[in-house]
Amino acid sequence: MRKSLQSPRSAVTALLVVASLALAGCSGDDDASAEPETVETTHLDGTVEEVEVPEEPQTWPLTGLEVPDDGSAETRHPVIVTKMDNTPSSSPQMGLSHADLVVEELVEGGITRLAAFFYSDIPGTVGPVRSMRASDIGIVTPVRASIVTSGAANITLSRINGAGITHYGEGYKGFFRESSRSAPYNLMADLKEVASTIKQKMSRPEDYLPWGTADDLPKGPKAASIDADFGNHTTTWQYADGRYHNTNSYAPEDDQFPADTVLVLRVQVGDAGYRDPAGYPVPETKLVGQGAAVLFHAGRAVRGTWSKNNLTSPIKLSTKKGDLTVPAGRVWIELVPAADGDVTWTK
């Protein structure tokens, strides 16, 4: 039985009697103008009081963290994924500290590129902005994200468009070339400007990961130092002060992604069917099916497996004992090639 708010004079003696239950917006309409759920309560003195029923805590789909109830949350936009360069030429990367989640994926030449997800916090300038890959279809579609990009090869554009993914590039509001950088590493985007052009009422996306708490995790071995090897690039992490720090990040110290968790998924990699301008074959990460996973949190490693039924479905995690959840927080996902990559860690 729900407890009611009681008037001072009946606070001690009043008994709660639920007289009726009024559900506002019971038509199923998700319109923001729908009235909150209320209950009418009758006190012993005959007074009737209408009490608003507290809503269940809402959480962000990309972090699992609670949405503030002070009205500051702005969600009238889709999830915006920015494709960012991840080579020394990208230095300094901008905007990563505002991202909810980051996915690091293999591109040609054994190097990597970042898909930085922005939803709860839309910053100003981010970049350098680079091109899309077919791998991005499986990465962004589970949350119906739009992509901020410098473009893509025609074969990739055809597949991206066929998947129904909205993308924005140079020529749209918010994009500019930074004069202090060299092309093609000088394309930047003001995400606030980009978001202003696509502002609309959006329904909440599905959770990107199965969120839980640290108490839900099995106790794995200590893992303070992590190396995610993609071939010609290794991303290194060090656990300190309650978070994982990317020790070879190209972002300035005050703008790095504050990872609460590093999630490594071992993935199959195929051939995208074309070569880049330098002649390298373009790989395509297959974020579908299943594979080995290692979840790093609070300085420990938990081994498991990941699965994804199709490109649009969310990622599921499990161990031999059952489902595996990710502690709510900000997560960096490493899509490490199963065949030619590796992940190692030490105490």
Q: Looking at mean pLDDT, say which of 5-9, 12-16, 175-179 comes out highest.
A: 175-179
| Residue that has been written with the tokens 């031999």 in this structure | 320
Q: Is the pLDDT of residue 44 over 70?
A: no
What residue type is 263 in one-letter code? L
What is the tally of helices (H) and strands (E) in the chain? 3, 24
**Nearest 10 degrees: CA dihedral of 182, 185, 186, 190?**
-170
Mean pLDDT (the chain) is 86
- Least reliable range by pLDDT among 68-72, 244-248, 264-268: 68-72
Q: What is the pLDDT of residue 201?
A: 63
Is the CB of residue 43 less than 8 Å from the CB of residue 13?
Answer: no
Q: What is the pLDDT of residue 29?
A: 45
Residues in a beta bridge with 240:
243
DSSP state, residue 259: B
**pLDDT, tens digit, for every residue of 49-75?**
776 654 556 899 999 999 987 666 667
CA distance 229 to 266: 11
Terminal Cα-to-Cα distance of the chain (whole angstroms):
50
CATH code matching the domain that covers 80-197, chosen among 3.40.640.10, 3.40.50.300, 3.30.43.10, 3.50.90.10: 3.50.90.10
237: its two tokens: 């992490």
| Residue that has been written with the tokens 């071995």 in this structure | 221
| Residue that has been written with the tokens 């930085």 in this structure | 116
Prediction pTM value: 0.83
- CATH 3.50.90.10 correct for 211-346: yes
Q: What is the pLDDT of residue 308?
A: 96
Q: What is the pLDDT of residue 198?
A: 82
Q: What is the pLDDT of residue 269?
A: 96
CA distance 215 to 233: 33
Question: Which residue intervals of the chain bear CATH 3.50.90.10?
Answer: 80-197, 211-346
**pLDDT, tens digit, for every residue of 279-324?**
888 999 999 999 999 999 999 999 999 999 999 999 999 999 999 9
Is the CB of residue 322 less than 8 Å from the CB of residue 254?
Answer: no
**pLDDT, tens digit, for every residue of 190-223?**
999 999 988 666 778 999 999 999 999 999 999 9
144: its two tokens: 């119906």
Determine the distance from the C-alpha atom of residue 252 to the mean position of all C-alpha atoms in its chain, rounded to a whole number.
21
Q: What is the pLDDT of residue 55?
A: 55
CA distance 302 to 308: 19
Is the CB of residue 334 less than 8 Å from the CB of residue 115?
Answer: no
298: its two tokens: 């609070």
CA distance 347 to 332: 20
Q: What is the pLDDT of residue 4?
A: 33
Determine the distance from the C-alpha atom of residue 226 to the mean position of all C-alpha atoms in its chain, rounded to a whole number.
21
pLDDT bracket for residue 182 (50, 70, 90) = very high
pLDDT bracket for residue 270 (50, 70, 90) = very high
